Amino acid sequence: MTYQTLEIERDGPAAVIRLNRPERRNAINLQALGELMAALHAADADETVRGVILTGSPTVFSAGADLNDALEIDSAAARVAYFGKWHRLCEALEQLTKPTIAAIEGYCMTAGFELSLACDLRVAGRSASFAITSSRIGTVAGAGGTQRLPRIVGRANALEILFAAEPFSAEHAHRIGLINRQVDDGTAIAEAKRMIDLYATRAPLSLALVKRAVYRGLEMDLSSGLELETFLVTTVYGTEDKKEGISAFLQKRSPQFKGR
């Protein structure tokens, strides 16, 4: 597939999806939403891809949703359909069977910020800045920000961010647990690639099931979550990769996982 709003790169086990609308500061329009969904499906279907990195340019991850699209939404039905596309994209990131990392440099704003929240992990350069500015223009975060943000940073931190609608630093983001790693400017994508390189040495079925257990378990009470965990661990015990992993450990060699 030919992409007009994205650049797709393969680097070893990592598929790098780069937002590429420099004239709009990587604002995400309807075309970009569709292309991102297609790129995620392609990465998930490719067995040689072991992780996905979502990134932007060296100076801006994304300025948010393209407001030109918002101006054309003139009915309640159209608004539901529009935000439904955002929710389906974010859900696709969460449901991907492989680790996803947002590599953030520069501005990461509103819907672009919300998109990064749907990634499993976030790495940011020290000069990166974050904000959800919806209250400045009389709206509410509509791409999952009111739901994912408090699950990541806690209710009070999320409300402070959403109330203030002010940019905050990567240092603060790291302190409240929003980003996993704060790195030197210009190295976020390199750090994300190193992380994917490590994850690629692990059993792919294990990572897929761990991801499912964590995401689904957070929606359950503890007892139900533990039942899910037991089901998944007993399921994985019947795989070839489990047998290979234990054999490799006992034989003091590196395992050769097949995803089976």
Q: What is the CATH number of the domain that holds 158?
A: 3.90.226.10
Three-class secondary structure of residue 4 per DSSP: coil
The residue among 176, 199, 222 that closes a domain is 199
Whether 1 is covered by a domain: the verdict is no
242: domain CATH number? Answer: 1.10.12.10
> Residue 170 has which token pair?
């990567």
Three-class secondary structure of residue 17 per DSSP: strand
Whether 40 is covered by a domain: the verdict is yes
Whether 257 is covered by a domain: the verdict is no
Q: What's the CA gap between 24 and 65, in Å, rounded? A: 10
Q: Which pLDDT does position 111 carry in this prediction?
A: 94
Whether 138 is covered by a domain: the verdict is yes
- Provide the sign of the torsion angle of the four alpha carbons 103, 92, 38, 28, taken in this order: negative
Block means of pLDDT (10 residues each) for the chain, 260 residues, are: 93 97 94 96 96 97 88 82 93 96 97 97 98 92 94 97 96 98 98 98 93 94 94 86 74 78
Q: Which pLDDT does position 67 carry in this prediction?
A: 83
Whether 52 is covered by a domain: the verdict is yes
Q: How many domains does the chain have?
A: 2
Q: Which pLDDT does position 242 carry in this prediction?
A: 75
Looking at the structure, do residues 66 and 100 belong to the same domain, yes or no? Answer: yes
Looking at the structure, do residues 104 and 119 belong to the same domain, yes or no? Answer: yes
Looking at the structure, do residues 245 and 123 belong to the same domain, yes or no? Answer: no
Integer CA distances (angstroms), 22 to 4, 19, 161, in order: 12, 8, 26
Q: Which pLDDT does position 124 carry in this prediction?
A: 98
What contacts 174, CB < 8 A, 6 or more positions away? 124, 181, 182
Surface-to-core class of residue 165, CB atoms within 10 Å of its CB (0-12 exposed, 13-18 middle, 19+ buried): middle
Whether 71 is covered by a domain: the verdict is yes
Looking at the structure, do residues 42 and 60 belong to the same domain, yes or no? Answer: yes
Q: What's the CA gap between 115 and 87, in Å, rounded? A: 9
Closest CA to 133 of 52, 58, 62, 218: 62
Q: Which pLDDT does position 78 carry in this prediction?
A: 85
Looking at the structure, do residues 184 and 219 belong to the same domain, yes or no? Answer: no
Query: In angstroms, what is the C-alpha Rg of the chain?
Result: 19
Looking at the structure, do residues 216 and 169 belong to the same domain, yes or no? Answer: no
Looking at the structure, do residues 216 and 104 belong to the same domain, yes or no? Answer: no
Q: Which pLDDT does position 13 carry in this prediction?
A: 97
Whether 144 is covered by a domain: the verdict is yes
**Domain interval for residue 221:** 204-250
Looking at the structure, do residues 88 and 185 belong to the same domain, yes or no? Answer: yes
Three-class secondary structure of residue 52 per DSSP: strand
Q: Which pLDDT does position 247 carry in this prediction?
A: 73
Whether 258 is covered by a domain: the verdict is no
Closest CA to 209 of 164, 169, 239, 249: 239
Looking at the structure, do residues 163 and 242 belong to the same domain, yes or no? Answer: no
Q: Which pLDDT does position 236 carry in this prediction?
A: 87
Helix axes 222-236, 204-217, angle to 10 degrees: 170
Looking at the structure, do residues 133 and 213 belong to the same domain, yes or no? Answer: no
Q: Which pLDDT does position 76 carry in this prediction?
A: 85
Looking at the structure, do residues 32 and 136 belong to the same domain, yes or no? Answer: yes
Q: Which pLDDT does position 162 carry in this prediction?
A: 97
**pTM given for the model:** 0.93
Looking at the structure, do residues 165 and 76 belong to the same domain, yes or no? Answer: yes
